[in-house]
Structure 1
Amino acid sequence: MEDFNKTFQFVILNLTTIVPSNADNRTYGLSKEFRMELNTFKFCMLGIIGNTLAVFGLLANTLSIIVLRHRKMRSSTAYYLVTLAIYDNVILVAMVVFFGLPALYESMEPSILESYHFNYSYAMPIVYPVSLAAQMASIYTCVAFTIERYIAVCHPLHAANTCTKSRAKKAMLLIFLWSILYNIPRYFHYRVDTKWVDEKNRTQAIAKETEFGSDTVFRQVYLIYFQLIFMFLIPFSILMILNSALIRALRHSHQQRQQMSNSAAREHNLTIMLVAVIVLFLVCQFPSIIDNILMASTERGQLVSNMHYNKFYVMCTFMVEINSATNFIMYCVFGKKFRMVFLHIFGCKKGQRTLQYRSTLYNTRTNGLRSCDMEVSLV
Structure 2
Amino acid sequence: MSESPTGLVAMRVRWPCEAGGHARQETTFSYKELELQRLATTVIYGWLLNIVCIAGIFGNILSYIVMRSKEYRGSTTAIYLQVLMIVDSLYLLSNLCYYGIIIGCGVGKWIIDPFAAYIRIYVSYSLIDIFRNCSVLLTLVVTAERYICVCHSLKANKVCTPNKSKIISGITVTITVVYEIPRFFILKVISTSIDNCEGNFYTIDASGLVSDEVENVLGILGFVIFLALPLVMLTILTILLLMTIKKSNHFRKSMRSMTRSSAQTSSSGDKAKKANRKSENNTTVILLSVVITALICSLPNTIFTLLGFTAFRDIIIQTLPGSIAYYLAILLLNVNSAANVILFGFFGKKFRRVFARIFIKCYWGERNRKAYQIGSQTGITHTEHLMRENGCHEEGENSMEATESSPLR
TM-score when normalising by structure 1:
0.80
Deviation at 1:216, TM superposition (A): 2.7
- Cα gap change, 1:272/1:98 in structure 2, threshold over 3 Å: closer, same or farther? same
Deviation at 1:328, TM superposition (A): 1.1
Q: Is the 8 A contact 2:98 2:119 kept in 1?
A: no
> What pairs with 1:91-106 in structure 2 (closer than 5 Å)?
91-106=91-106
Partner of 2:61: 62
Cα distance between partner residues in 2 of 1:199 and 1:307: 35
Cα distance between partner residues in 1 of 2:31 and 2:194: 20
* AA aligned opposite 2:65: I
Q: Does 1:122 align with 2:122?
A: no
Cα distance between partner residues in 1 of 2:178 and 2:206: 20
Q: Does 1:339 align with 2:352?
A: yes
Cα distance between partner residues in 1 of 2:329 and 2:235: 20
Q: Does 1:192 align with 2:205?
A: no
Deviation at 1:171, TM superposition (A): 0.6
Partner of 2:213: 217
Alignment: residue pair count: 330
- Cα gap change, 1:198/1:270 in structure 2, threshold over 3 Å: closer, same or farther? farther
Classify the secondary structure of the residue corresponding to 2:70: coil
Cα RMSD for the two superposed structures? 2.6
Deviation at 1:293, TM superposition (A): 1.3
Q: Does 1:162 align with 2:159?
A: yes
Partner of 2:176: 179
Partner of 1:14: 18
Cα distance between partner residues in 1 of 2:340 and 2:154: 30
Classify the secondary structure of the residue corresponding to 2:277: helix
Partner of 1:318: 331
* AA aligned opposite 1:42: T
- Cα gap change, 1:297/1:25 in structure 2, threshold over 3 Å: closer, same or farther? closer
Cα distance between partner residues in 2 of 1:91 and 1:322: 11
Structure 2 residue runs without a partner (length 5+): 1-12, 256-272, 366-409
Partner of 2:42: 43
- Per-residue displacement from partner, 1:71-115 (whole Å, max 9, x unpaired)? 211211111011111111111111112211133334xxxxxx348
- Per-residue displacement from partner, 1:298-317 (whole Å, max 9, x unpaired)? 25652332112111111110
Q: Does 1:137 align with 2:141?
A: no
- Cα gap change, 1:205/1:255 in structure 2, threshold over 3 Å: closer, same or farther? farther
Partner of 1:360: none
Partner of 1:76: 76
* AA aligned opposite 2:119: A
* AA aligned opposite 2:28: G
Q: Is the 8 A contact 1:192 1:208 kept in 2?
A: yes
Q: Is the 8 A contact 1:97 1:120 kept in 2?
A: no
Classify the secondary structure of the residue corresponding to 1:191: strand
Classify the secondary structure of the residue corresponding to 1:72: helix
Determine which of 245, 248, 254 is the counterpart of 2:249. Answer: 254
Classify the secondary structure of the residue corresponding to 1:296: coil
Q: Is the 8 A contact 1:51 1:100 kept in 2?
A: yes
Partner of 1:307: 320
TM-score when normalising by structure 2:
0.74
- Per-residue displacement from partner, 1:243-284 (whole Å, max 9, x unpaired)? 110011111112123447111111110000000000000001
Determine which of 296, 304, 328 is the counterpart of 2:309. Answer: 296
Q: Does 1:208 align with 2:205?
A: yes
Higher relative contact order (CA 8 A, sep 6+): 1
- Cα gap change, 1:99/1:338 in structure 2, threshold over 3 Å: closer, same or farther? same
- Per-residue displacement from partner, 1:122-146 (whole Å, max 9, x unpaired)? 2244334233221111111111110
* AA aligned opposite 1:49: L
Identical columns (%): 25
- Cα gap change, 1:201/1:335 in structure 2, threshold over 3 Å: closer, same or farther? farther
Classify the secondary structure of the residue corresponding to 1:28: strand
Q: Is the 8 A contact 2:304 2:313 kept in 1?
A: no
Deviation at 1:156, TM superposition (A): 1.1
**Which has the higher mean CA deviation after the structures are superposed, 236-245 or 126-135?**
126-135
Q: Is the 8 A contact 1:26 1:310 kept in 2?
A: no
Cα distance between partner residues in 1 of 2:194 and 2:96: 24
Structure 1 residue runs without a partner (length 5+): 1-8, 107-112, 352-379
- Per-residue displacement from partner, 1:189-222 (whole Å, max 9, x unpaired)? 1112235689995446443322245x33123211
Cα distance between partner residues in 1 of 2:189 and 2:77: 41
- Cα gap change, 1:338/1:10 in structure 2, threshold over 3 Å: closer, same or farther? same
Cα distance between partner residues in 2 of 1:326 and 1:151: 25
Query: Which structure: greater helix fraction?
Result: 2
Deviation at 1:24, TM superposition (A): 6.2
Classify the secondary structure of the residue corresponding to 1:347: helix
Classify the secondary structure of the residue corresponding to 2:190: strand
Cα distance between partner residues in 2 of 1:200 and 1:86: 45
Q: Is the 8 A contact 2:90 2:131 kept in 1?
A: yes
Partner of 1:88: 88
